[in-house]
Chain A
Amino acid sequence: MIRTEGLCKYFASNGKEVRAVDGLDLEVNRGEVFGFLGPNGAGKTTTVRMLACLIAPSAGRAWVDGLEVGQDNLAIQARVGILTEAPGLYERLSARANLELFAELYNVNDVKGQVEKYLRLLDLWDRRDTDAGTFSKGMKQKLAIARALLHEPSVLFLDEPTAALDPEAAKTVRDFIATLRGQGRTIFLCTHNLDEAERLCDRIGVFRQRLIAVDTPDALRRQLFGRQTVVHLAPPEGTADVEALVAAVRNLPFVQHVTTLRPENAAEDNYRLVISLDDPARRNPIIVQMLVGHGAQVRFVNELRHSLEDVYLSLLRSNTA
């Protein structure tokens, strides 16, 4: 649905060349919600602008819905919807007038119908005749999202849709994006919010000038940290026992790494073994059996999940190194 090959964008800034995007190779599938994650200045907005034919690539090629950027710009623009970084509404016009203008610009057949549909979907129908300038940030953002959807685009670019919104407004917008999933639309979501990416996106690309990693959130986690099982044990009588247990676990052929965590506070007296291994579903029973065989009292077994934040930070760090 979206494909880029060595996509680049250079800017001249004070006589120096700034490489905003430097060799992006990317493939986003039809109907997918793709999270485009990167720090400030990574080039996310620049990438979206190139894909929406607002600015021309300096090098490389890109296709959107089978059409090549730079060749069929008007046709691409007719098929994509874009939520720009700033909502950019006409503040002196009513919500409805804002949408009607864009429906006309996008050559929508049923202008009135589409405008009403999206005003209602985004809960703005009651405020339809109010000037957009009087709206709260959250309402402006919703109106801008409605504006991007009027022509039922097959690709939707969302550039940080929840940045600058309070948690409640952000949640409303996020929930709305969630409802757009599975309507066959491809969604390209730029965000800083890792939690948002995790909840909304099928796949995530971590990006800074170029793509650092791309996969589902789970796969990224696994790639980076492998899979880890945590076994919580009742405190044994003597420390020697724990060392013996750890040694025994370490000796298992499929175990890559084991660390021991001692009780952290008085309320909790569990010892925890963090075991890195290849396939928890198959290996956990063997480990538990072995531990029990060694006289350990297993209280809980669970999988250690790293937050997407850990994944993201570690990817960026390894990329800088």
Chain B
Amino acid sequence: MRQFRALVRKEWADMLRNKLVFYVVIFVPLLMLAIPVAMLFVMRQVPPNEQDLAELGRMLQNPIFAGMNAVEAMQAIMASNMLVLFLMMPLMVPVTIAAYSIVGEKMTRSLEPLLATPITTTRLLLAKGFAAAAPGIAMTWICYALFLVAARFLSASERVFAVFVDPMWLVAMFVLAPLTTVLAVMVGVIVSSRVNDPRAAEQLGALVLIPLMALFIGAMAGFIMLNSTTFWISSGLVAVADIGLIYLGTALFQRETILTRWK
């Protein structure tokens, strides 16, 4: 436990002083927060046109929007779709951190003295994983909270606001997001134990974003119905992937290879 705590503290202290990582952790989520808030604002000011309304009709089949007028529905739909973006935060932030936390140590050659200490591989990975995951989850929750605050003021009605605290979003934020974070961290760990350049690690890690992008685009185009069931199913899939990746990650994290293959 001491080792775990000390390592996490070090990771965070180091992170705070690494400008690039720090900006990714702080600014990317804030940017993602800005988009749905802007949506709310714009939809409130600009009344929807005919074409939008036709489109809307299709989407309104989702019972969550039942009984809303055009402005309300437009706000609810657009902002909800943008909320899917929030699910990318727990991906991007930890991938970046995890990539830096192992490849970075390889590059500065601080990994060797670290591995020389009596710490088990599992504990080392747990500490590094936690240090990378926690800020990602925290930022997601903070942004969700900030979004709700903004929505309180910008929502056209109570009914619109209710959409954002619907159980499906609670599932998304509190079940799917943490599970996605674990996924991202493990991908970061696996990738960075194989490559030698943090940027390469980051880019490869970003590949895991693609399935989520698909969910996002699908939701935008109305192919995927956003509801609790979709999020539970996604959570289930991600959980399975997590288990596989944790297994793979610990197996692949071989001290010796990581230490001697960097030349």
Report B51-102 residues with CB < 8 Å from chain A CB. none
Please list the residues of chain B having a beta carbon within 8 angstroms of any beta carbon in chain A. Answer: 2-3, 5-7, 9-10, 13-14, 17-18, 108-120, 255-256, 259-260
Please list the residues of chain A having a beta carbon within 8 angstroms of any beta carbon in chain B. Answer: 11, 49, 52-56, 74-75, 77-78, 80, 82, 84, 86-93, 97, 100-102, 104-107, 144, 147-148
Distance in Å: Cβ of A95 to nearest Cβ of chain B: 13
- The reply to whether A147 and B113 form a contact with Cβ atoms under 8 Å apart is yes
B116: contacting residue among A11, A54, A75, A90, CB under 8 A = A54
With A101-B7, A104-B6, A105-B3 known as contacts, the answer to whether A55 contacts B260 (CB < 8 A) is yes
- For residue B113, which residues in chain A have a CB less than 8 angstroms away from its CB? 82, 84, 88, 102, 144, 147-148
Number of A-B contacts (CB under 8 A): 82
A55 CA / B112 CA spacing, docked (Å): 10
- The reply to whether B120 and A74 form a contact with Cβ atoms under 8 Å apart is yes
A90: contacting residue among B14, B115, B118, CB under 8 A = B14
25 contacts between A and B (CB under 8 A): A11-B260, A54-B115, A54-B259, A55-B255, A55-B259, A74-B120, A77-B116, A77-B117, A78-B118, A82-B116, A88-B111, A89-B110, A92-B17, A92-B18, A93-B17, A100-B6, A101-B10, A104-B3, A105-B3, A105-B6, A105-B114, A105-B118, A106-B118, A107-B118, A147-B113
A256 CA / B138 CA spacing, docked (Å): 82
A307 CA / B219 CA spacing, docked (Å): 79
* Chain A residue nearest in CB terms to B110: A88
Interface of chain B: mostly helix, strand, loop or mixed:
helix
Pick the most buried of B7, B14, B110, B111: most chain A CB atoms within 10 A of its CB: B110
- For residue A102, which residues in chain B have a CB less than 8 angstroms away from its CB? 113, 117
With A77-B118, A101-B7 known as contacts, the answer to whether A107 contacts B259 (CB < 8 A) is no
- The reply to whether A105 and B14 form a contact with Cβ atoms under 8 Å apart is no
Pick the most buried of A78, A82, A92, A144: most chain B CB atoms within 10 A of its CB: A92
- For residue A97, which residues in chain B have a CB less than 8 angstroms away from its CB? 10, 13
- The reply to whether B5 and A92 form a contact with Cβ atoms under 8 Å apart is no
- For residue A144, which residues in chain B have a CB less than 8 angstroms away from its CB? 113
- For residue A92, which residues in chain B have a CB less than 8 angstroms away from its CB? 13-14, 17-18
* Chain B residue nearest in CB terms to A104: B6
- The reply to whether B7 and A105 form a contact with Cβ atoms under 8 Å apart is yes
With A54-B116, A101-B6 known as contacts, the answer to whether A93 contacts B111 (CB < 8 A) is no
Instruction: Kindly list 5 other residue pairs between chains A and B, CB separation below 8 angstroms, not including A105-B118, A144-B113.
Output: A52-B116, A54-B255, A82-B113, A100-B6, A106-B117
With A101-B6, A104-B2, A105-B7 known as contacts, the answer to whether A93 contacts B112 (CB < 8 A) is no
Pick the most buried of B6, B7, B115, B116: most chain A CB atoms within 10 A of its CB: B116
- For residue B109, which residues in chain A have a CB less than 8 angstroms away from its CB? 84, 86-88
Distance in Å: Cβ of A148 to nearest Cβ of chain B: 8
Pick the most buried of B18, B109, B111, B117: most chain A CB atoms within 10 A of its CB: B117
- For residue A75, which residues in chain B have a CB less than 8 angstroms away from its CB? 118
A49 CA / B117 CA spacing, docked (Å): 12
A142 CA / B128 CA spacing, docked (Å): 27
Distance in Å: Cβ of B251 to nearest Cβ of chain A: 16
Distance in Å: Cβ of B226 to nearest Cβ of chain A: 42
Distance in Å: Cβ of B130 to nearest Cβ of chain A: 16
- For residue A84, which residues in chain B have a CB less than 8 angstroms away from its CB? 109, 112-113, 116
A90 CA / B14 CA spacing, docked (Å): 8
A82 CA / B120 CA spacing, docked (Å): 17
- For residue A82, which residues in chain B have a CB less than 8 angstroms away from its CB? 113, 116
A104 CA / B123 CA spacing, docked (Å): 14
- For residue A80, which residues in chain B have a CB less than 8 angstroms away from its CB? 116
- For residue A74, which residues in chain B have a CB less than 8 angstroms away from its CB? 118, 120
A53 CA / B6 CA spacing, docked (Å): 22
A90 CA / B104 CA spacing, docked (Å): 10
- The reply to whether B2 and A56 form a contact with Cβ atoms under 8 Å apart is no
- The reply to whether B118 and A93 form a contact with Cβ atoms under 8 Å apart is no
- For residue B5, which residues in chain A have a CB less than 8 angstroms away from its CB? 104
* Chain A residue nearest in CB terms to B111: A88
Distance in Å: Cβ of B112 to nearest Cβ of chain A: 5
Distance in Å: Cβ of A303 to nearest Cβ of chain B: 44
- The reply to whether A105 and B117 form a contact with Cβ atoms under 8 Å apart is yes
